[in-house]
Chain A
Amino acid sequence: MNMAAKTAKQGRPGARRAAVDQDEEEQPLQAVLVADSFNRRFFPVTKDQPRALLPLANVAMIDYTLEFLTSTGVQETFVFCCWMSDKIKDHLAKSKWCRSNSSNTVHFITSDTYRSLGDVLRDVDAKALLRSDFILVYGDVVSSIDVTQALQEHRLRRKLEKNISDNIVVAVDSKSKRILHYQKTQGLKKLQFPMNIFHSTSDEFEIRHDLLDCHISICSPQVAELFTDNFDYQTRNDFVRGILVNEEILGNQIHLHVAKDGYGARVSNLFMYDAVSSDMIRRWIYPITPESNFVDEEGKSCTHSRHNVYRGTGVSLGHGSQMEENVLIGQDTSIGAKGHISNSVIGANCIIGDNVILDRAYIWNNVHIADNVAIRQSVVCDGVEVKTGVILKEQCVLAFNAVVGPDVTLPEGTVVSLHHPDEEEEEQDEFLSDHAEAGHNKATKKDKANNSKELGTEGQGYIWKSSSLDHTKEDELAQSLWGLVLNPDPESDSESEASEGSDQPGSRTISPELDDIKVFQTEVQGTLQRGLEENIGCDNLVLEINSLKYAYNITLKEVMQILTRVVLEYPFFQEGADLSTSQYNTLLLPLLKGWAPVFKNYVKRAQDHLNCLASIEEFFLEHEAHWGALVLMSAYNLDILEEDGIMRWFSQEGTTDKSKLLRKNQGLLKFIQWLEEAEEYSEGD
Chain B
Amino acid sequence: MVFLILYSTLAMIDVHSFKRTMPVTDKEVALSERIEAFLAELKRGGSGAGTLRGSGETARETTALLRRITGQAQWSSAGDLMEIIRKEGRRMMATQPSETTVGNMVRRVLKIIREEYARLRGSSEVTDQQESLHQLLTSGGLSEENFGQHFKDLRANVIEAINELLTELEATTDHIAMQALEHIHSNEVIMTIGRSRTVEAFLKDAALKRKFHVIVAECAPFCQGHEMATSLSEAGIETTVIADAAIFAVMSRVNKVIIGTQTVLANGGLRAVNGTHTLALAARHHSTPLIVCAPMFKLSPQFHNEEDTFHKFVSPHEVLPFTEGEILSKVNVYCPVFDYVPPELITLFISNIGGNAPSYTYRLMSELYHPEDHEL
Q: Which residues of A contact B (CB under 8 A)?
A: 70-71, 100-103, 144, 210, 261, 263, 275, 278-279, 282-287, 291-294, 301, 303-305, 307-308, 325-326
Contacts and interface: CB of A to CB of B under 8 A. Distances in A.
A428 to B, nearest CB: 35
B27 interface: no
A293 B94 CA distance: 9
Contacts of B125: none
B47 A286 contact: yes
Contact of B332 (A101, A144, A301, A325): A325
7 contacts: A102-B36, A144-B315, A263-B315, A282-B332, A286-B314, A301-B94, A308-B332
B317 A261 contact: yes
Interface in B327-350: 328-329, 332-335
A325 B47 CA distance: 23
B311 A304 contact: yes
A282 B32 CA distance: 34
A299 B47 CA distance: 24
Given A71-B40, A101-B32, A103-B36, A284 B323 contact: no
A303 B94 contact: no
B80 interface: no
B313 A304 contact: yes
B323 A283 contact: no
Given A71-B40, A284-B316, A286-B314, 17 more contacts: A71-B44, A103-B33, A210-B323, A282-B332, A284-B317, A284-B322, A286-B47, A286-B48, A286-B313, A287-B44, A287-B47, A301-B94, A305-B307, A305-B308, A308-B313, A308-B332, A325-B332
Interface string B34-46: 0111001001101
A203 to B, nearest CB: 28
A283 B315 contact: yes
Contacts of A282: 316, 332-333
B43 A101 contact: no
Nearest to B313: A283
Nearest to B47: A287
Contact of A285 (B40, B313, B315): B315
A103 B317 contact: no
A303 B94 CA distance: 12
A62 B33 CA distance: 23
Given A263-B322, A294-B43, A284 B308 contact: no
Interface in B70-104: 94-95
A101 B33 contact: yes
A70 B40 CA distance: 9
A393 to B, nearest CB: 19
Interface in B277-329: 307-308, 311, 313-317, 322-323, 328-329
A305 B317 CA distance: 20
A279 B316 CA distance: 10
Residue from the set A70, A283, A301 with the largest chain B CB neighbour count within 10 Å? A283
Task: Decide if the interface of chain A is mainly helix, strand, loop or mixed.
Answer: loop
A576 to B, nearest CB: 72
A292 B316 contact: no
B316 A278 contact: no
The 4 residue pairs across chains A and B that have the minimum distance between CB atoms: A286-B315, A303-B308, A101-B32, A286-B314
Contacts of A292: 43, 95
Nearest to A103: B36
Contact of A326 (B35, B37, B46, B332): B332
A650 B209 CA distance: 73
A392 B36 CA distance: 45
A287 B33 contact: no
Contact of B316 (A71, A100, A283, A305): A283
B130 to A, nearest CB: 36
A287 B322 contact: no
Contacts of B315: 144, 263, 283-286
Nearest to A99: B36
B217 to A, nearest CB: 24
A211 B43 CA distance: 29
A553 B64 CA distance: 66
Nearest to B45: A287
Contacts of B314: 283, 286-287
Nearest to B325: A212
Contacts of A144: 315
Nearest to B39: A296
Nearest to B320: A284
A307 B332 CA distance: 9
Nearest to B321: A261
B43 A287 contact: yes
Given A101-B33, A283-B316, A284-B315, A278 B329 contact: yes
A214 B47 CA distance: 21
Contact of B46 (A283, A285, A287): A287
Interface in B5-29: 29
Contacts of A263: 315, 322
A307 B35 CA distance: 34
Residue from the set B44, B46, B94, B315 with the largest chain A CB neighbour count within 10 Å? B315
Nearest to A71: B44
A306 B315 CA distance: 15
B50 to A, nearest CB: 12
Contact of B308 (A71, A304, A307): A304
Contacts of A102: 36
Residue from the set B40, B48, B335 with the largest chain A CB neighbour count within 10 Å? B40
Nearest to A307: B332
Nearest to A326: B332
A288 to B, nearest CB: 10
Contacts of B43: 287, 292, 294
A294 B332 CA distance: 24
B336 to A, nearest CB: 10
A326 B334 CA distance: 11
A292 B312 CA distance: 11
Contacts of B328: 279
Contacts of B35: 101
Nearest to A284: B315
A304 B313 CA distance: 9
Contacts of B94: 293, 301
B332 to A, nearest CB: 6
Given A263-B322, A284-B317, A101 B46 contact: no
B73 to A, nearest CB: 14
Contacts of B307: 303, 305
Nearest to A261: B317
